[in-house]
Amino acid sequence: MGLAEEALLVWRPLIYKEGSRAQSRKDIHFHHTAECYANTGGQKSKATPIGAVAKFATKGHEVEKKNLAEMAMDYGTVYVASVSMGANYDQTLKAFSEAEDYDGCSVIVAYSPCIEHKNLDAMTHTMQHQATVAASGYFPIYRYNPMLKRMGKNPFVLDTKKLTMGVDAVLDNEMRFGALKKRDADLYKKYRSELDAWVRERYSKYQRWAALGHEDISNGVPLTLLYGTETGTTEALAYRVAELARQRGYAVRSWSAMRWT
């Protein structure tokens, strides 16, 4: 258990799950994302960023990570927060306070430094690194509160007000990215460029949401992607299509056909 979880254990109810679904009842789902299966050996997961080396992704993960927070926001009735305690301690506490006050399901996604990231500082400056991931846009912090929408206000608050450094500040300190640079410099450059573009596009989207509101970006019926998969390939493709649609302002929901079989 990391420092963030220990500091926040005073809040109840907390449910530590990676795959929980949004519900109408009052629960706080706290997701500490290490961007891999950290407790089983560092295998890649749907939260692994593009270009990161992990077990079963020795040449770097091929697609952008799943955005759990945005998937929860698409419901429109779930309180959602992205937090990184080293970036903004007060914002982290405010998110938990707002989640506890919210009469419904809440999802809080917290950046969690992990030994599988292979930080060059050997995990000795994790709070500073948590600040870096937010300031670079790699892991921006924000809050989405449906209660504000009921009051006629914008429910989306972008707490990373501006980007003060580039994504290289994160990549240069994590050997899960640097390992690919040593093995295949050209592939590293390709993934690095794609990750940088994805980070900037996502932040621009969040700036629009902060100015216009999450729901005001798309006026139509949310796009629903229904997929079936045995090997995980179709699921990865569905998340990729969903992310591309979100970057263009669509509200998207992805559903597995296995839920009805």
Question: What mean pLDDT is predicted for residues 164-169?
Answer: 94
If asked whether residues 61 and 178 sit together in one domain, one would say yes
Q: Which of 36-40, 94-98, 154-158 has the lowest mean pLDDT?
A: 36-40
pLDDT of residue 38: 79
Are residue 134 and residue 240 in the same domain, yes or no?
no
**Burial, 260: exposed, middle or buried (Cβ in 10 Å; 0-12, 13-18, 19+)?**
exposed
Do 241 and 145 share a structural domain? no
3-state secondary structure the chain: CCHHHHHHCCCCCEECCCCCCCCCCCCEEEEEECCCEHHHCCECCCCCCCCCCEECECCCCCCCCCCHHHHHHCCCCCEEEEECCCCCHHHHHHHHHHHHHCCCCEEEEEECCCHHHCECCCCCCHHHHHHHHHHCCCCCCEEECHHHHHCCCCCEEECCCCCCCCCHHHHCCEHHHHHHHHHCHHHHHHHHHHHHHHHHHHHHHHHHHHHHCCHHHCCCCCEEEEECCCCCHHHHHHHHHHHHHHHCCCCEEEEEHHHHC
Range in 23-27, 136-140, 192-196 with the lowest mean pLDDT: 23-27
Alpha carbon 19 to its chain's center: 13
Q: Which CATH number belongs to the domain containing residue 89 in this structure? A: 3.40.50.970
Q: Is the pLDDT of residue 23 over 70?
A: no
In a domain, 94, yes or no: yes
Q: Which tens digits make up the pLDDT trace of 52-76?
A: 888 888 887 888 888 889 989 988 8
Does residue 261 belong to any structural domain of this protein? no
174 and 246 assigned to the same domain: no
> Nearest 5°: phi and psi at 22?
-65, 140
- Whether 1 is in a domain gets the answer no
Q: 205 — phi, psi (to 5°)?
A: -65, -45
Please check whether residue 2 lies inside any domain of the structure. Answer: no
Overall number of domains in the chain? 2
- Six token digits for residue 176: 């899960």
Q: In what order do the strands lie in the sheet with 156-158?
A: 14-15, 28-33, 106-111, 79-83, 142-144, 156-158
Closest CA to 198 of 63, 73, 80, 31: 63
**228 & 189 share domain:** no
Instruction: Tell me what pLDDT residue 65 has.
Output: 85
pLDDT at 3: 37
Residues 64 and 121 both lie in one domain? yes
117 domain-assigned: yes
Tokens of 2: 């990391």
Do residue 208 and residue 227 come from a single domain?
no
Predicted TM-score (pTM) above 0.85:
no
Range of the domain at 176: 8-13+22-212
pLDDT tier at 258 (50, 70, 90 boundaries)? low
The reply to whether 232 and 174 lie within a common domain is no
Co-location of 154 and 30 in the same domain: yes
Q: How many CB atoms lie within 10 A of CB 248?
A: 12
Do residues 233 and 124 share a domain? no
Q: Which residue has the higher pLDDT, 204 or 245?
A: 204
Task: Give me the chain's average pLDDT, please.
Answer: 82
User: What is the pLDDT at residue 250?
Assistant: 74
